[in-house]
Structure 1
Amino acid sequence: MTTLVEFMIITGADNRPPMLEKSLYDSWKSHMELYIENRENRKMILNFVQNVSLVWPTVVEEDGTTRTKRYEELSVAEKLQADCDLKATNIVLQGLPPDVYAIVNHHKVSKAIWDRVKLLMQGTKLSLQEKECKLYDEFDKFSFVKGETLYQYYWRFAQLINNMNVINMSMRLVQVNTKFLDSLPPEWSKFVTDVKLARDLHTTNYDQLYSYLEQHEVHANETRLMRERYQDPLAFVANYNQSPS
């Protein structure tokens, strides 16, 4: 049979496929599918990755023996299928770190590689349940990290919610929004109260809440600095008494 090396199709790489991070398999899978959607012959390539294992055509010789067709013997339609599967194989392999690549690169068709990576990364249903428990725990314990900006806080929260969405974990919108607001530090309390009064947390989303709060970050920082400076009432009085009249 024709080897992968012999007929490897190098995809026109104006960019590279997403690289697999082992703890974020579901996110990588979703990203990889979107990457393939942007390729030429995307439907056929994605079909070979997800659903159909390419079977290389054969031909019967005059003596009755059957052999695998050489690439140049394929029909136009067969060549397109072979090219698309090889493109799919190349895309998936380029997205794997060296240790995972070494385990799966002996497979000759893209679906076999895709399924093998899924088995290695996702494991059993139990491991998926454990992942859900881990993410629920992270959501429960999510809090503001001292010194980070509102954007950094929003970015971490967005990553967590995305990881939950990727594996179809169900969370009520009001629960997500409330967690986003209530995990902010005290200097945000006035603005959190204002946005809770102004927005319906059952219909809005945390992106919109972030956009509103971002407008008030300067004031929140000023409040934080004042609290840090005068957290000791005696220090506040001493500072006041030393101020020039």
Structure 2
Amino acid sequence: MAGSDDDVPPPPPPQTQTQQAPHTVSTIKLPLLKKGEYDIWAMKMEHYLAHTDYPIWEVIQKGNGPVSVSTDTHGVIKVLPPKTAEEILARERERKARTTLLMALPEDHLAKFHKMTDAKEMWEAIKSRFGGNDESKKMQKYILKQQFEGFSVSNSEGLHKGYDRFQSLLSQLEIHGAGVTTEDANQKFLRSLPSAWSQVSLIMRTKPGIDTLSFDDLYNNLRVFESDVKGSTTSSSSMQNVAFVSENTSSTNKASTAYGASSSSGHKP
């Protein structure tokens, strides 16, 4: 019936608190590192992370603790995936801290830092590259070049640990603007291997394409010969021991023969 209460439209539902309150977005922008402004940038980064996500700042300052690793049959160390809730959270914070630092760097420097997987190490490398005065930077660059020239891999260190140490040195050289060419890096690492690798090193150094082969590919090529080199080293040591024993035995037999000859010559019929 017209004009009845049934024709009156129901009132609109009241808005909930969630609908009335707009989503809060942080007004603090990620500070970008500019040339000659490292000290100011570092202070801004501390305030930014302390305001947005303080646990990330703790990861950058104190590290994220050791990760679980294992070694395969070839001696290669691999990081195990996280299992517990604490390990998963720690790995996520590490990844977020690393991403935040990369986003704050100038684009022309991303290639120098993106290989670093540890946020604390990256923070220290950024400080070493952009902080300090020109004299300290020149001294750091000089020290790194000296380390490159004197680099060598010991027998006890092994191929994998030598590779990790040399890779870290190459990264530091690149960060400080003193990077070396692929050919120089490959040739230097091959010359730095122990004497047991001399034959393999000589073959690889004269191999076509060694000047364009990436350092990671060079390492993978060397791993193919690792078991043979270890076997030849053991075989060489065994042969030296056999030769030593044979030489002593031969000397003893000669002495016995000489003694017998002198004794028999002393008794004339």
Question: TM-score, normalised on structure 1?
Answer: 0.51
Matched with 1:212 is 221
Q: Percent identity?
A: 22
1:87 has 2:70 as partner: no
On the 8 A contact 1:45/1:85 being kept in 2, the answer is: no
On the 8 A contact 2:141/2:173 being kept in 1, the answer is: yes
1:131 has 2:114 as partner: no
Which stretch of structure 1 is more off in the superposition, 141-150 or 178-187? 141-150
Alpha-carbon offset, residue 229 of structure 1 = 3.6
User: Residues 197 and 118 (structure 1 numbering): CA distance in 2 closer, same or farther, change over 3 Å?
Assistant: closer
CA distance in 2, matches of 1:164, 1:213: 23
On the 8 A contact 1:180/1:206 being kept in 2, the answer is: no
Which of 153, 173, 178 aligns to 1:144? It is 153
Question: TM-score, normalised on structure 2?
Answer: 0.47
User: Residues 233 and 134 (structure 1 numbering): CA distance in 2 closer, same or farther, change over 3 Å?
Assistant: farther
Paired residue total = 154
Any unmatched runs of 5+ in structure 1? 1-40, 54-81, 99-110
Any unmatched runs of 5+ in structure 2? 1-24, 41-46, 64-103, 105-122, 251-269
Q: How does 1:216-227 map to 2 (within 5 A)?
A: 216-227=225-236
Give the counterpart letter for 2:221 in structure 1.
Y
Matched with 2:66 is none
On the 8 A contact 2:196/2:233 being kept in 1, the answer is: yes
On the 8 A contact 2:170/2:179 being kept in 1, the answer is: no
Say what the alpha-carbon RMSD is for the aligned residues.
3.9
Matched with 1:96 is 61
Q: How does 1:22-33 map to 2 (within 5 A)?
A: none
On the 8 A contact 1:173/1:203 being kept in 2, the answer is: yes
CA distance in 1, matches of 2:203, 2:184: 18
Give the counterpart letter for 1:205 in structure 2.
S
Give the counterpart letter for 1:127 in structure 2.
S
User: Residues 123 and 237 (structure 1 numbering): CA distance in 2 closer, same or farther, change over 3 Å?
Assistant: same
Q: How does 1:94-243 map to 2 (within 5 A)?
A: 94-97=59-62, 118=127, 122-231=131-240, 234-235=243-244, 237-238=246-247
CA distance in 2, matches of 1:173, 1:165: 12
CA distance in 1, matches of 2:248, 2:161: 34
On the 8 A contact 2:204/2:210 being kept in 1, the answer is: no
CA distance in 2, matches of 1:156, 1:133: 18
CA distance in 2, matches of 1:122, 1:240: 67
**SS at the partner of 1:219?**
helix
Alpha-carbon offset, residue 226 of structure 1 = 2.8
CA distance in 2, matches of 1:209, 1:171: 16
CA distance in 1, matches of 2:127, 2:161: 31
Alpha-carbon offset, residue 148 of structure 1 = 1.8
User: Residues 132 and 83 (structure 1 numbering): CA distance in 2 closer, same or farther, change over 3 Å?
Assistant: closer
Give the counterpart letter for 1:218 in structure 2.
S
Give the counterpart letter for 2:197 in structure 1.
W
Give the counterpart letter for 2:231 in structure 1.
E
Which of 30, 50, 53 aligns to 2:33? It is 50
User: Residues 85 and 237 (structure 1 numbering): CA distance in 2 closer, same or farther, change over 3 Å?
Assistant: same
Give the counterpart letter for 1:150 in structure 2.
L
